[in-house]
A and B are shown apart, each in its own frame.
Chain A
Amino acid sequence: MTLTSADFAAIWLTLKLASLTTAILLVIGTPIALWLSRTRSWLRGPVGAIVALPLVLPPTVIGFYLLLALGPHGFVGQFTQSLGFGTLTFSFAGLVVGSVLYSMPFVIQPLQNAFSAIGTRPLEVAATLRANPWDTFFSVILPLARPGFITAAILGFAHTVGEFGVVLMIGGNIPDKTRVVSVQIYDHVEAMEYAQAHWLAGAMLVFSFAVLLALYSSRKTKTGWS
């Protein structure tokens, strides 16, 4: 016995969620990371801490507050209802919002490190060579920060795939909408379908290892033992 159609649906949903989350995080994370790496404002500390919060908070805590905020009485829920979208809880859109918050540090921190490593000199050089700030961003910062973008995308994607607690809190367990692989495994185990659980759990293990292997092998060793 191999994977069932419900398993494949869960896999497809997981990949969709992780891709969308990663794409959104790269777009909104880049300006935040750029700002964090350049600013001298006092807000740098608080913003940096907020970005890092999902690293330490239990996913249930994030999920709990999201449930309140996105729900019919929460401020986001009221807003989405007034726009005619209803509430985002127990929907795919809600999962995307939750995943974006949950995986945020995994995208922003590698980007911030990459931007900091570039320093200000290449930007000054570009300015003296007549490049305006947008031009400098695309022709100097982006190419120099490429390894940072690759790391950020891989970590953001992989971390979203591994999400469980937040999904369960705000998404529940609705086939084709919110039932991702990690929830599907949980279901199989609850139903004592250990063989099914093995297949999916094994696939996740192999996937995660392969991703991290690719990531760590691609990094050039600068110092250390060979």
Chain B
Amino acid sequence: MIDMRLKLSYSGFALDVDLQVPGRGVTALYGHSGSGKTTCLRCIAGLERAQQGFIQVNDEVWQDSEKKIFVPPHKRALGYVFQEASLFAHLSVLANLEFGIKRIPKQQRRVDMGHATELLGIGHLLERHPQNLSGGERQRVGIARALLTSPKLLLMDEPLAALDSQRKNEILPYLQRLHDELDIPVLYVSHSQDEVARLADHIVLLSDGKALASGPIGETLARLDLPLALGDDAGVVIEGHVSAYDAHYQLLTLQLPDTDLGIRVAHAPMPLGQALRCKVQARDVSLSLRSVEQSSILNRLPVTVISEIGADNAAHVLIRLNAAGTPLLSRITRYSRDQLGVHPGQQLWAQIKAVAVLA
């Protein structure tokens, strides 16, 4: 469990959060710029000092302003990945990687050099100097360098924000491997819903220095009472598992948790039973009164209407649906809503046009 209560203000900005997030897995701190997510992360690292603060990471207290405890950053067992990789320009890649590992006692070293370089695919770069690396390579070295201190908490401040989309896609698989292979809790600051949907298990939504919501990714993204739902890329994350594969049409069936409902997705073969995460965007879900058989849309699920809100433009509404326990969002026009007479409790068919497989 990571427990943080932070109060801090400077001209024009105030941070006031009281959060408990899981001590394992990836927790996203999500919000627009200026929402206080980076400040939060810097306070946890001790790079900034909250005037009133309490920070406890699993069994270690890092700050307790009431008891006048403030552990300086270099004594906190954390790893920090900055937005720009910030490698030391006077050191080679190898010396950068060794910088942290040299400074922790041998018995605390749980991540070894071979594992870290293999995990991030940087084994061939060790002799090089930071200025001769691409942006993506630099960031991978930065991540490996942080991991090599065997942190009890890994803090990542928009590690992909400074990269173009090609480099992002080059790094994302490595981040997913970290998530799957290492048992280090991660706090991941991001303003990209896509990254959050791919990587996070838990999400904290920050706005104007306050936490609007904190919860598991699946249900939190589907909440209509949060500004999350309003964005153009709003949608839900579904975690299911592979239940069938049609080799002829190259379609994979993702079975929704605790149901016999499935969604078919165009995808390369995957072993049956494998856990799979995918994102269904609200704008890709349409509604109809009957199951329309003659349609190019593959996925039709029986759903119940839970609630609705106005979207960010006057012509659209967002409908929250329940597909046998799995939440879905649908973005339709106000006109269609009135044509179908959509109301809470109504049974409808959701047609899902596209599904993005995330992991």
Contacts and interface: CB of A to CB of B under 8 A. Distances in A.
Nearest to A136: B74
A130 B90 contact: no
A128 B73 CA distance: 6
A130 B88 contact: no
A128 B45 contact: yes
B89 A130 contact: no
Nearest to B85: A125
Contacts of A124: 47, 73, 80, 82
Interface string B81-103: 01010101110000000011001
B30 to A, nearest CB: 22
Interface residues of B, number: 23
B103 A125 contact: no
A127 B90 contact: no
A144 B88 CA distance: 9
A135 interface: yes
A131 interface: yes
B73 A121 contact: no
A122 interface: yes
A132 B74 contact: yes
A122 B88 contact: yes
B45 A125 contact: no
Contacts of A135: 103
A129 interface: yes
Contacts of B100: 129-130
Nearest to B151: A128
Interface in A115-159: 121-122, 124-133, 135, 139-140, 143-144, 146
A130 B103 contact: yes
B38 to A, nearest CB: 12
Contacts of A140: 88, 90
Contacts of B79: 128
A143 B90 contact: yes
**Residue of A121, A126, A129 with most chain B CB atoms under a 10 A cut-off:** A129
B99 A131 contact: yes
A122 B72 contact: no
Contacts of B104: 130
A114 to B, nearest CB: 13
Contacts of A133: 74
Given A130-B100, A130-B103, A144-B90, A125 B82 contact: yes
Nearest to A129: B100
B78 interface: yes
A149 to B, nearest CB: 13
Contact of A127 (B47, B84, B145): B47
A144 B74 CA distance: 20
Contacts of A125: 80, 82, 86, 88
Contacts of A143: 90
Contacts of A131: 74, 99, 103
Contact of A129 (B72, B89, B149): B149
A144 B45 CA distance: 24
Nearest to A146: B90
Interface in B38-88: 45-47, 72-75, 78-80, 82, 84, 86, 88
A131 B46 CA distance: 14
Interface string B9-51: 0000000000000000000000000000000000001110000
Given A121-B86, A122-B86, A128-B45, 18 more contacts: A122-B88, A124-B47, A124-B80, A124-B82, A125-B82, A125-B88, A126-B99, A127-B46, A127-B47, A127-B74, A128-B73, A129-B74, A129-B99, A129-B146, A130-B75, A130-B103, A132-B74, A143-B90
11 contacts: A121-B84, A125-B80, A125-B82, A126-B74, A126-B99, A127-B73, A127-B74, A128-B47, A128-B149, A129-B99, A131-B103
Interface of A: 121-122, 124-133, 135, 139-140, 143-144, 146
